[in-house]
């Protein structure tokens, strides 16, 4: 099983990391032999500090620059809250900076208030996700989309020029040859990253993850909302039966200094336990069929809410996490 981490957002004094500090932590994680760094996505809501956070892709760009081999990914990017053309640009920019190392987890998110904040209907989230990813795929295909061409041409001026009539001062009359026509689009040149679907347990979403994506991301932390982590056993089997490939368990809290806390069937899957117990739990997760785990470092002595903003990492801590399992093979991106 591969081990990824959510990166720390603060130093040991609690101050927010700048680019230099974030890059240093990313290199520490890579040097410790861990497999990936993943950043989650939030829409900042005034007055709700628990729900804010950094821009996912700005953070990943810094991490990509600081490392050479680590997988860099989003877990997850909330597509319905973003403009899909803007997202596609972020995706192919990151793919340019870290070719072959980018994995984009996408989903709807689980916070109704984020949709309310920007005037979207929570009930439309799956429709918005599907349409957003359809547009992203179109951008990476680099081909003109008929419905867009109709829209552009309908709005074109009456001067006999087409929708692309002005480009850096150049004009192309109707029937003229645009010299950019034969130039491959940027996203075509860099190629698509792997896209994984972050989803709970519905058959419809599991089918999408198995058939339309290169994998599935399942939250082990919030599973208590739907009957606890014990349901992960059934869900991973259903996903595999549908032909699903890569499976990732994310939001797994880890605190190897905590007294071993038993796993409650109706709670979250976690590693708040001694190292030997953590190894046994990770082995069990792997036996269930999960290929990766994304860990969130916490501290049982802290009085604040757990999360990457609260805790820094040390080399010793990272090496101890790496020692829990033998290294697995890198991600196979042939698909």
295-328 per-position pLDDT tens digit: 999 988 877 666 667 789 999 999 999 999 999 9
- The number of beta carbons lying within 10 Å of the beta carbon of residue 103 is 24
Is the pLDDT at 246 greater than 50? The verdict is yes
**pTM over cut 0.85:** yes
Average pLDDT, the chain: 89
pLDDT interval class at 76 (50, 70, 90) = very high
Is the pLDDT at 144 greater than 70? The verdict is yes
What confidence score (pLDDT) does residue 170 get?
Answer: 56
Structure tokens at 58: 């700005």
Q: Are 185 and 144 in contact (CB under 8 A)?
A: no
Question: Which residue is associated with the tokens 């860990």?
Answer: 295
Is the pLDDT at 142 greater than 50? The verdict is yes
pLDDT interval class at 159 (50, 70, 90) = very low
In whole angstroms, what is the distance from residue 51 CA to residue 3 CA? 25
Looking at per-residue pLDDT, the higher value among 62 and 160 belongs to 62
26-30, 107-111, 161-165: least confident range: 161-165
pLDDT interval class at 270 (50, 70, 90) = very high
pLDDT 10s digits, 166-224 = 544 455 555 666 666 778 899 999 999 999 999 887 889 999 999 999 999 998 875 54
Is the pLDDT at 145 greater than 90? The verdict is no
What confidence score (pLDDT) does residue 157 get?
Answer: 60
What confidence score (pLDDT) does residue 245 get?
Answer: 96
* Residue 288 Cα to chain centre, angstroms: 22
Averaged pLDDT for residues 250-264: 93
What confidence score (pLDDT) does residue 334 get?
Answer: 57
* Residue 215 Cα to chain centre, angstroms: 12
**What is the share, in percent, of the chain residues with pLDDT greater than 70?**
88
Domains and CATH numbers, the chain: 2-153+182-322 (3.20.20.30)
pLDDT interval class at 150 (50, 70, 90) = confident
pLDDT 10s digits, 4-20 = 999 999 999 989 999 99
Averaged pLDDT for residues 126-147: 93
């Amino acid at each position: 099983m591969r081990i990824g981490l959510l990166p720390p957002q603060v130093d040991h004094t609690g101050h927010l990391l700048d680019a230099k500090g974030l890059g240093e932590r990313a290199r520490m994680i890579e040097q410790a032999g861990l497999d990936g760094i993943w950043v989650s996505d939030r829409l900042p809501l005034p007055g709700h500090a628990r729900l804010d956070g950094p821009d996912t892709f700005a953070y990943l760009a810094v991490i990509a620059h600081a490392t050479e081999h680590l997988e860099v990914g989003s877990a997850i990017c909330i597509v319905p809250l973003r403009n899909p053309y803007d997202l596609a640009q972020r995706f192919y920019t990151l793919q340019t900076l870290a070719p072959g190392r980018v994995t984009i987890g996408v989903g709807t998110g689980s916070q109704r208030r984020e949709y309310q904040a920007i005037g979207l209907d929570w009930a439309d989230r799956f429709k918005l996700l599907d349409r957003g990813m359809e547009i992203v795929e179109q951008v990476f295909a680099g081909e003109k989309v008929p419905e867009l061409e109709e829209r552009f041409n309908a709005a074109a001026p009456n001067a006999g020029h087409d929708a692309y009539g002005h480009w850096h001062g150049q004009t192309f009359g109707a029937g003229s040859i645009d010299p950019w026509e034969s130039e491959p689009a940027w996203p075509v040149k860099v190629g698509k990253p792997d896209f994984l679907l972050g989803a709970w347990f519905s058959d419809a979403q599991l089918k999408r993850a198995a058939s339309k994506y290169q994998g599935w991301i399942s939250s082990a932390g919030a599973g208590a909302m739907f009957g606890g982590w014990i349901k992960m056993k059934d869900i991973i089997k259903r996903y595999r039966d549908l032909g699903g490939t890569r499976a990732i368990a994310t939001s797994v809290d880890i605190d190897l200094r905590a007294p071993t806390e038993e796993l409650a069937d109706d709670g979250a899957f976690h590693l708040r336990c001694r190292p030997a117990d953590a190894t046994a739990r990770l082995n069990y997760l792997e036996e269930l069929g999960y290929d990766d785990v994304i860990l969130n470092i916490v501290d049982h002595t802290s009085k604040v809410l757990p999360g990457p903003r609260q805790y820094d990492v040390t080399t010793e801590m990272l090496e101890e996490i790496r020692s829990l399992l033998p290294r697995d093979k890198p991600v196979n991106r042939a698909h």
